[in-house]
Every structure is written in C-alpha cells, then in structure tokens.
Amino acid sequence: MYGWVGNILFIDLTSGDVTTESTESYVENYLGGRGLGVRLIYDHYKPGTDAFDPSNPLIFNTGPLSGTALSGSGRVDVTALSPMSQLRAKSNFGAYWGPELKFAGYDHVMIRGKAAKPCYIWIKDDKVEIRDAEHIWGKDTFETQKAIQEELGDPEIKSVCIGPAGEKLVRFACILTETGDAAGRTGMGAVMGSKNLKAVAVRGSGGIRVARPNEFLELSIKINNEIREHPAYKELSVFGVARGVHMMYQLSFFPVGYFEDVCWDDILEGYSGADYVEKNQVKNMGCFCCPNRCMNFFSKPGIGKGLTSCEPFSGFTGAVWNLNMDTFLEATLMVNKLGMDCTETSAAISLLMELYHHKIITEKDTDGIAMERGSKEAILGTIQKIANREGYGDLLAEGPKVFAETIGTDAVEKVDIVKGLAPHAYEFRAYKGTGLMQAVGHRGDPLPLRGSLLEVDWNHAPDWFQQVAKEQFGDSEAAIPTSYKGKAFSTILSEHMERVADNLGVCKWLYGLFIYYDVNMATEVFNLATGKDWDVPRLLKISERVRNLERMFDVRQGLTRKDDSLPKKFFEEPLKKGKFEGEVLDRDKFEAMKDEYYTLRGWDVKTGIPTREKLEELDLKDVADEVLQK
Amino acid sequence: MKTLIIDAEKCSGCRACETYCSLKHDGECNPAKGRIHVIKWEQEAIFVPINCLRCEEPACEMVCPKGATYRNYMTGAMEVDPHRCIGCLSCVFACPFGATFVDLDNGKVLKCDLCDGDPTCAKVCPTGAIVCEEISKEAYLKLIQNADRIPVLVKQALGRNQ
C-alpha cells in the first residue's frame, strides 16, 4: 500500500498475545486515522463493560498521511471507552510518536487486557515486547521518557506514557508525548493506567511509500512555503497562541472563572502572555514536519523547562482568575509531569473557586487550602492533591460532580458538565453555533471547528466573513455569532471537514481552520500519496459515515437527544459585560437549532438517533441491525 | 557555487529536512534514509542537525579503498559512486562529524549530494536553521560560528555546562 503502511497491531496484555491484521479492508469505507479507529472500537468494545474493564480497547490511530513529508503530518487519534462519560472517548496528540509508529510498520495499535504488574510496550519494527515497568512506575512523564531511552540504549526512541495521575486512575489523566503534547481530553491516561501500562515505546526503521513521489514532493514543498507566507503562521510561529488568548477574552469567546463572567477587566488589562513569551521563551516547537510550530518552549529558573500551548494559556489564567504567568507556567509543567488534562484540571480548580466565592465551601472542605480566586496555593495545591489522590483531590479525581455531591445540592447545582466533561475552554452564550457544536458534539468538548472559527473571525470583518459563510455554508448568518440561522448546516459541514483531517492523520488546524479553509488541499495530497483518485465529496461522505458510526456507538451506550445539552447557566445567566453584554442562549431557539441539525443529518428529531434509512445509505446496515433492533 | 549553512541553535527539531531528503532521493518518507540527521533533546529544546561539511581534505575520500568517494566540482558536494562502492563503511567511520550515513536495508552509503546544487532541505526548513548561500567570506564566517555553537549546545543538552 502507499500512504498506509498496511498493518493493525493487536496487543493483549493479559495473555501477552501479539497479532496483526491488514489495514486494507477498512480503507474504502473508513479511510484511516480517526475514522478507522471508530470502526475498530465499534467492533471490539463489548457493550456494557466499564472503561476500567481490561477488555476496553485502547486504540492509537494514524492516517495515510501521518509521517509523510507533508506539513502537519504528526497527528495521532486515540480512542477507547471514556472513564469520564461511558461514551466513546476521543483525543488527539501530535509530536513525533505517530510517524515513528508508521516507520515501525503499523497504522493502528489496539491494546486490550491488563498486565499482572506494571509494564511497558516496546515496539521495534516487527518485534513487539511487553517489558517490566515496576522500576519506572511512579515516575513523572518526563522521567519516564528518559528512563526508557536509557534502558533500551537508544535516545531516538519515542514514547507516549502516563504519569502518577494515570497510574492512580485519575479519571482525566492524559497520555503525554516526548515533547509535552498530550492526548489530553477524555481520560485516556486513566485507561492506560487501568491496564497497568506505563508507556508505549516505538522505534521504526522503515519508510512510508508514496504513490507519486515527485508530484507529492513538489506539492509538499509548495504547501510548506505557502504556510510560511500565511499571516496565521507569522503569529503562531513566534507567539504560539499567547497573544490570541487575549483577543479571545476581548471577544467574550473564552470564559473567565467557572463561566461566571466574561471581560474581566483585570485580565484584559493585566494578561501578560505575550511579554512572558518574549522574556522566557527559548523557542517555538511543533510536531513532525510542521513549519507552524505553534507551541512555546519556556525555560524559567526555579520553575523549569517545557512546552505549553493552546488551552493551558486560558485554563491556568482566566479560568482560575490568575494573572501571574509564573504560576501559569508552573501549573502547566506540573500537570504535564503528573500526566493530567490541563483543561479538566483547571476547570475543577475553577469550580472550587466559584464554590468558595459563593461560600458554599470553606477551606475545611479543601484540606485547609482557601480556594481564593487566583490563589497560587489553591491552583498548585489542588493539582498535587488530585494527582496524588489526597483528601479532596481524591474526590475531584473521580470528577467534579463526585466532589460536589459530598458538599450538597447547592454545590451540585453549580457543576457544569457536557457529556461527562467540563465544557471549557470556550464560552457559548454569544456564540450560538459554537454552542450547538458543543451540545451535539461527539464528546463534551469538541474543539470548535470551522463554523465556530467563522463566528470568531466575524468580529474582525463582519461583511467579509458573512460573504465567506454564504459561499461555504449557504447562509451569511452562519458567520454572525448571535444569530441562530444557518448554524445547523455549518455545524454539519464543519464536523465533516474536521474528520477529513483526522482520518488522514494531519493537523486540522492547518487543513481546516487556519491555512486552508476547506478540504481541497487535503484531498489532493491524499491522492498523490496513496495513488487513489477520490474526490472531495467522497472524503466528506466517509466523514459522514464516521460521524454516524460515532453516534451509533454512543447510542448503543444509551445516548439520546437529551444528552445533547448545555448546562442551564448558559440559558439563564446572561453575559454581564463586554461586546456581547446581555447575550444568553434562548432555550426554544436552541432546541430549534437542534431540530434543524437532526433533520439535516437524517436523524430522528425526537430521539436524536440516526434513522435506519440514513445508516443504510451510509453502508452501516450491520450497525442499524444491531443497535436499532433493541 | 552555493553551500549549506546550518545553525543548530535555530532548529526546532521538526525533522522536515530528514523526511524531505528521503522523499527526494528514495521516493519514500523515511528519516532513517535522510542524508541529514537531527540529534534531538526534546526536553531541553536542543536540536543539532548533522550534515556533510564538504571538508577541504575529506577523510571519507582519503579512506575509501576503491576511490568511490569523490568531489563533484559542479556543486562542491562529496559524492559516492554506487558502482565502485563495496560497502566497507570506511567513510562512515572515518567522518569526524558523523555526517556520512548508511542505509541499514542495503548497506548503501548515504551522503549529501546537495541535490545537485539546489538542496531540498533548505527549501523546507521553517526556522532558517538550514539555508543555502553563495560561498563567500561571510558564509565562511557563519560556518565557523555555527560550528562553535555545536559543542556548547551539546554540553548544555547533557547538563554539563553548569
């Protein structure tokens, strides 16, 4: 095969069995990456079993473009049953592990079973070994990476691993790569921990064959050069998202605190991310073959060194009322080393601060630490407590709701959750389309997609982006944040566009959001790499199939329309300040958007479940037979 | 005539140079077959690309028992004639910079040929760590400065400068 390297690796940690299967038979219908992973988990997960049951399959998915010379080809999709929602988990990381896995000869790895004692997996081309990890159990993620390289005597080994939080089954533990990029959301680190699996180390010596190498080379160079001339590149490759965060606060797109307010004057005046980058950033780093390098590597004596990007910037600033960038860096490095999702962790701290502020809890409920807004002790102390499962941290490790239930109904009322996850790091009251995407999304917080970014972009040049919305989504109002019109269709198309990048194993920031605003370029390179001759509608059709199968997995778990919701706060408490002062979601109009979404999707409006007709149209008759018969 | 000038301090470790190099020369994406290689310390953000320095008196040329390594006077690159090469790897071991590589699949020597004077790696390096410039006094001074930086970075990466 070209593009794909052709093998799916199955490892059973209980029996020690290692087998492979060909990738080829899945490709026509599911392409690769995320899409193929969805089919694998649908087929191999035993309905009704718990996320910590050894049978829960943990699956790493690369796509046909992962590891190629194409810009942004370092992405890996991770799936399993989520210990946070009992629905399908989905997370995605970059860096260098995915390409290395392909060089070793595998497109996908599925890990099942549970080892009798701590272990790690060592994949060296066609040799797969399950090795003892008792001596590295307890080490943080940075130490673990190094210890494995030293033990195996090869500094070029790439590992993904868990930290102490994953070992202790903190439900939002993450899987960390060698750079600090992580599969953060949905608790994949906890699933790894439940299998007694500390790390998956990979080294490959093979290559990825490309169908039309000369044309692929030429186009890849052109893409690399185009990206480097793009305005987004000029910002991201220098500041990462550090400056963009400030803009998001100005636009009331990021929440302050626990969605308590937006446009907190102090953060608009005092947010110093850009200065901090200028003073303490060593360089920008990114993923495999990516010129964009949107992550910031900081070094600060007394705190440490490491990468941060994206959501930690708002999670450990505005969400926890913190203006001290040293605390931000310390918190970010700490969650990375301990192996926890920064978004979920910062949201949990944010909840404690809200409860404390409203006098629902006192320091007695949090082991003597006062949860003052912005308190360094509260932020760093809580991170440690969660990761070590000490005191109140042990309760938070089970999720914010478990903690709130021990306090009482007042506290439970305050908890904001969407499909088991904190709805951070985005604010929806003004951005109706983003709200819809969040509510109907496949997990509690799908990164707002093309249609969502259009709502943000609209603020800069309303007329222009309304025109773009008209062209892309057939309705100029799709770009207007406060409008409910055109949002259902823009959500659907955005979901399909996102899955094209995820199925191919490339970065959706580049291929769907910032540089290329559609999937034409992704399709063109796909054809050159794989030798296929597929058109854009065909790739979008696969995305639709994947979206429906994802939905059916969750329907099989009991999901219905009522789960496609947002916390009541977004319907009841209007924004108090800022550009969108007074905005709140109108429940009737919101439900009408959902009706429109289900109708356009060919799903049953009453239940939110795909119809047999739609599933059969998408060659998912077997799924309809299994799930809809019940 | 142009030469490659590599400043390790600017490298972000993206591996584009290695991957494009293998694609250009072997038609597949495989950093292990690159004629350039990046030594990486991710946790320190230190990356050192290693590539042929086209020495004035090249060790690779001197040790080759078959005279297979020669200078291409059109580009300045040291190249290996695959028909003469017997795969003894003397050149690989003799290179003082570790900049001559070997294809582990077939024992073939992998040596930077400057893509016939138009190096692919320089076209895709996003940070300016790899540039291709006309040979001049300024270029020569840059090469010396860049060479001086390498031991400093390596010591720093290994934590031996404190």
Q: Is A178 on the interface with B (CB under 8 A)?
A: yes
State the pTM of this model.
0.97
Q: How far apart are CA B52 and CA B62, in angstroms?
A: 15
CB atoms within 10 A of CB A234: 11
Specify the higher pLDDT residue, A53 or A451: A53
On chain A, the residues whose CB falls within 8 A of the CB of B115 are: none
Backbone angles phi, psi at A92, to 5 degrees: -150, 135
Cβ-Cβ contacts under 8 Å, B45 against chain A: 282-283, 285, 297, 299, 305
CA angle A69, A74, A80 (to 5 degrees): 145
Q: Is A282 on the interface with B (CB under 8 A)?
A: yes
**What's the token pair of residue A79?**
């799936």
Instruction: Determine if residue A16 is left, alpha or beta; phi over 0 gives left, psi from -120 to 50 gives alpha, anything else beta.
Output: left
Q: Do A221 and B26 touch (CB under 8 A)?
A: no
Q: Cα(A444)–Cα(B77) distance, rounded to whole angstroms?
A: 56
User: Is A330 a domain residue?
Assistant: yes
The span from the CA of B14 to the CA of B31, in Å, is 11
State the nearest Cα–Cα gap between A197 and chain B, in angstroms: 22
Q: For position A629, what pLDDT does the model report?
A: 72
DSSP 8-state symbol, A372: -
Residue A630 in this model has a pLDDT that exceeds 80: no
Report the C-alpha gap between B89 and B98 in whole angstroms. Answer: 12
| CA dist., res. A425 & res. A129, Å (int) | 39
Does residue A321 share a domain with residue A463? no
Q: Percentage of chain A with pLDDT > 90? A: 89
Q: Is B13 in Cβ contact with A156 (below 8 Å)?
A: no
Helix/strand/coil for A29: helix
Q: Give the Cβ contact number of residue B144 at 10 Å.
A: 8
pLDDT score recorded for residue A265: 87
> What letter represents residue A164's amino acid?
P
Within 13 A of B38's CA, how many CA atoms are on the CB side?
30
Structural domain ending residue among the three candidates A414, A446, A478: A414
Nearest residue in chain B measured CA to CA from A290:
B14
Mean local confidence (pLDDT), A138-144: 97
Q: Kindly state whether residues A351 and A459 are assigned to the same domain.
A: no
pLDDT in tens, B118-132: 999 999 999 999 999
pLDDT digits (tens, 9 = 90+) for A26-71: 999 999 999 999 999 999 999 999 999 999 999 999 999 999 999 9
Q: Please indicate, yes or no, whether residues A242 and A345 belong to a single structural domain of this protein.
A: yes
The C-alpha of B56 sits at a distance from chain A's nearest C-alpha, in angstroms, of: 31
Which strand (E) or helix (H) includes residue B15?
A: none
Mutation target vs B (from A65, A220, A277; most B CBs, 10 A cutoff): A220
Q: Are residue A101 and residue A240 in the same domain, yes or no?
A: no
For A300-352, the pLDDT digits (tens) are 999 999 999 888 888 999 999 999 999 999 999 999 999 999 999 999 999 99
pLDDT in the model for residue B162: 53
- Which residues on chain B are in Cβ contact (under 8 Å) with A222? none
Task: Please determine, for residue A207, whether its predicted confidence score (pLDDT) is greater than 60.
Answer: yes
Q: Answer whether A179 touches B (CB < 8 Å).
A: yes
Q: Are residues A461 and A326 in the same domain?
A: no
A352-365 confidence digits (pLDDT tens): 999 999 999 999 99
Q: What percent of chain A has pLDDT over 70?
A: 99
Interatomic CA distance for residues A330 and B71, integer angstroms: 53
Dist. CA B43–CA B46, nearest whole Å: 8
Helix, strand counts (H, E) of chain A: 29, 16
- For the segment A464-469, the average pLDDT, to the nearest whole number, is 95
The chain-wide mean pLDDT, for chain A, equals 95
The tens digit of pLDDT for each residue in A558-611 reads 999 999 999 999 999 999 989 999 999 999 999 999 999 999 999 999 999 999
Domain containing A186 equals 7-203
The CATH number of whichever domain residue A381 belongs to comes to 1.10.569.10
Cβ–Cβ of B14/A225 closer than 8 Å? Answer: no
* DSSP single-letter state for residue A630: -
* Shared domain check, A439 and A409: no
Q: Which residues from A are below 8 Å from B22, CB to CB?
A: 207
The one-letter amino acid at A261: D
In sequence order, which ranges of A188-230 are alpha helices (DSSP H)? Answer: 188-194, 213-229
The residue out of A414, A445, A466 marking a domain boundary is A414
Is residue A115 in a domain? yes
CB A378 within 8 A of CB A361: no
Domain count, chain A: 3
8 Å CB contact of A221 and B124: yes
Burial string for A488-505 (b: 16+ CB within 10 Å, else e) reads: bbbbbbbbbbbbbbbbbb
- pLDDT confidence of residue A507: 93
CA angle (B54, B59, B61) in 5-degree steps: 80
| pLDDT for the residue B159 | 87
Peptide bond preceding A461: is omega within 30 degrees of 0, i.e. cis?
A: no
Asked whether the beta carbons of residue A205 and residue B32 sit closer than 8 angstroms, the reply is yes
Query: Quick one: A515 and A610 in the same domain?
Result: yes
Of A379, A414, A449, the residue that ends a domain is A414
Do residues A403 and A437 share a domain?
no
- Determine, yes or no, domain membership for A116: yes
Question: Rounded to a whole number, what is the distance in Å from the CA of A292 to chain B's nearest CA?
Answer: 8
Cα distance between the two ends of chain A: 39
Contacts of A72 (CB under 8 A, 6+ apart): A287, A289, A290, A292, A506, A507, A509, A510, A511
| A261 within some domain | yes
pLDDT computed for residue A152 by the predictor: 98
DSSP element (H, E) containing A562: none
Output DSSP code: residue A558.
T
Least confident of A154-168, A195-209, A253-267, A286-300: A253-267
A322, A297, A311, A440: which is closest to A377 by C-alpha?
A: A322
Check A178 against B45: CB less than 8 A apart. Answer: no
Tell me the C-alpha distance between A217 and B29, whole Å: 10
Residues A255 and A144 in one domain: no
Name the minimum distance, in Å, from the CA of A509 to any CA of chain B.
17
pLDDT higher than threshold 70 for residue A448: no
Supply the DSSP symbol for A513: I
Q: Residue B69: what residue type?
A: T
pLDDT tens, chain B, 162 aa long: 999 999 999 999 999 999 999 999 999 999 999 999 999 999 999 999 999 999 999 999 999 999 999 999 999 999 999 999 999 999 999 999 999 999 988 889 999 999 999 999 999 999 999 999 999 999 999 999 999 999 999 999 998 865
- Please check whether residue A65 is in contact with residue A109, taking contact to mean a CB–CB distance below 8 angstroms: no
- Asked if A314 contacts A304 with a C-beta cutoff of 8 angstroms, the reply is no
Q: Taking Cα atoms as reference points, which of A107, A101, A91 lies closest to residue A182? A: A91
Question: Does one domain contain both A285 and A373?
Answer: yes
Name the nearest CA neighbour of B104 among A101, A204, A69, A66.
Answer: A204
Q: Which chain A residues touch B20 with a CB distance below 8 Å?
A: 69, 217, 220-221
Region A525-534 average pLDDT = 98
3-class SS string, A435-446: HHHHHHCCCCCC
CATH (domain of A183): 3.60.9.10
| Rounded CA separation A563/A420 (Å) | 10
Q: Is the pLDDT of residue A119 over 90?
A: yes
Looking at the fold, whether A408 and A270 belong to one and the same domain comes out as yes
**Do A118 and A27 fall into the same domain?**
yes
**Cis peptide bond prior to A80, omega within 30° of 0:** no
A321 by DSSP, 3-state: which?
coil
Is there a domain that residue A212 lies in? no
Contact list, A286 vs chain B (CB under 8 Å): 12, 14
